[in-house]
């Protein structure tokens, strides 16, 4: 069993600079921060966000962790394996029905996670303040971890990631990160030095996200972060043709496997921002690979690159 809970940060993961001409126009440099290589099972920003929650659970004496997600949830998959590794029971409340078991959920169950399926209507209640107390009555004493690992405890792992990135590169940097809930963007913006500008790339069609981020980042310089839309935000359950083509060509050219939801959308839009001049000449860009490679199975993508990662 590994040391608890932040040993995954004991060795920095690499920056891999892209070689294609489309990434080096006008003196621009683009590197991928290979968070997919952080840990074979826990790699990616999901683990960065979970680390603080696990530390809090140990501090407060909880032996059971409970969270929520969809049938292809990277977060629940990481939580199940973190619980198995560090000695916690885990419960996943899943939006869906048992007949929708995916490879992701089967692996979470094999790692010891108890799965509880709920309707979409019931799942919407997760935003209500009484939701954690309701779950505690159902499953007993547990630490409730919000969807995706959001919440104040996520700051611990994200702060360590920010320090690692800052130590790896000097000068002015644009840090690009995919955005789901906005937790990673907000946490990194809060911890990175002012020489970094953080660009978020919104993976889902969530009209309320910009306003929520502005509220969370009210103390940040408005010029120190931006939020961009990405291709096919409304079709994240399927890999749009333009994204499938981009994914295949990128992997062949750069040898870096991409997940079919987050990183592929970020890089596709980033390429267009380089082409149209939005990325200033001579910029250094670090693009955060947030893992999620196990999700390729939900889009019928080959597994050979996942195994090589």
Give me the pLDDT at residue 306, please: 40
Judged against a pLDDT cut of 90, whether residue 276 lies above it is answered with: yes
DSSP state of 12: P
Q: What is the dihedral of CA 15, 214, 234, 228, to 10 degrees?
A: -50
Range in 7-11, 165-169, 268-272 the model is least confident about: 7-11
Give me the pLDDT at residue 236, please: 63
- What is the Cα–Cα distance from 132 to 126, expressed in whole angstroms? 8
189 is written with which tokens?
């913006």
Cβ–Cβ < 8 Å for 169, 177? no
> Edge-to-edge strands of the sheet including 64-69?
113-118, 89-95, 64-69, 143-145
- What is the Cα–Cα distance from 116 to 111, expressed in whole angstroms? 15
Judged against a pLDDT cut of 50, whether residue 188 lies above it is answered with: yes
Range in 91-105, 161-175, 229-243 the model is least confident about: 229-243
- Say how far residue 230 (Cα) sits from the centre of its chain: 16
Cβ–Cβ < 8 Å for 203, 236? yes
Percent of the chain with pLDDT over 90: 66
Domains, the chain, in order of start with CATH, read 7-43+152-308 (3.40.50.1100), 45-149 (3.40.50.1100)
Q: Helix H segments across the chain?
A: 45-60, 74-86, 103-110, 120-123, 131-139, 155-168, 183-191, 209-216, 241-254, 263-275, 304-308
Per-residue pLDDT, averaged over 200-228, amounts to 93
pLDDT digits (tens, 9 = 90+) for 259-269: 988 999 999 99
- What is the Cα–Cα distance from 267 to 276, expressed in whole angstroms? 14
Give me the pLDDT at residue 4, please: 65
- Say how far residue 170 (Cα) sits from the centre of its chain: 24
């Amino acid at each position: 069993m590994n040391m608890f809970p932040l040993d995954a940060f004991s060795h920095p993961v690499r920056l891999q600079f892209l070689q294609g001409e489309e990434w080096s126009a006008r003196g621009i440099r683009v590197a991928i921060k290979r968070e997919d290589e952080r840990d074979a099972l826990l790699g990616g920003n999901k683990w960065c966000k979970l680390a603080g929650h696990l530390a809090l659970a140990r501090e407060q004496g909880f032996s059971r962790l409970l969270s929520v997600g969809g049938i292809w949830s990277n977060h629940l998959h990481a939580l199940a394996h973190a619980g198995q590794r560090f000695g916690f029971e885990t419960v996943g409340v899943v939006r869906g029905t048992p007949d929708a078991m995916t490879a992701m959920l089967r692996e979470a169950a094999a790692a010891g996670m108890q799965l509880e399926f709920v309707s979409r209507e019931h799942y919407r209640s997760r935003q209500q303040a009484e939701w954690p107390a309701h779950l505690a009555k159902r499953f007993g004493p547990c630490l409730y971890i919000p969807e995706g690992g959001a919440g104040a405890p996520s700051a611990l792992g994200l702060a360590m990631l920010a320090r690692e990135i800052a130590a790896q590169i000097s000068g002015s940097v644009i840090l690009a990160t995919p955005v789901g809930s906005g937790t990673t963007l907000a946490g990194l913006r809060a911890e990175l030095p002012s020489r970094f500008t953080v660009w978020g790339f919104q993976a889902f069609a969530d009209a309320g996200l910009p306003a929520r981020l502005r509220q969370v980042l009210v103390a940040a310089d408005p010029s120190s972060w931006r939020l961009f839309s990405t291709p096919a935000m409304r079709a994240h359950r399927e890999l749009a043709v333009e994204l499938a083509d981009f994914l295949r060509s990128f992997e062949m050219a750069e040898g870096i496997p991409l997940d079919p939801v987050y990183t592929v959308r970020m890089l596709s839009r980033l390429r267009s921002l380089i082409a149209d001049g939005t990325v200033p000449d001579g910029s250094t860009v670090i693009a955060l690979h947030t893992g999620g490679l196990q999700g390729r199975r939900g889009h019928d993508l080959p597994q050979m690159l996942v195994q090589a990662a």
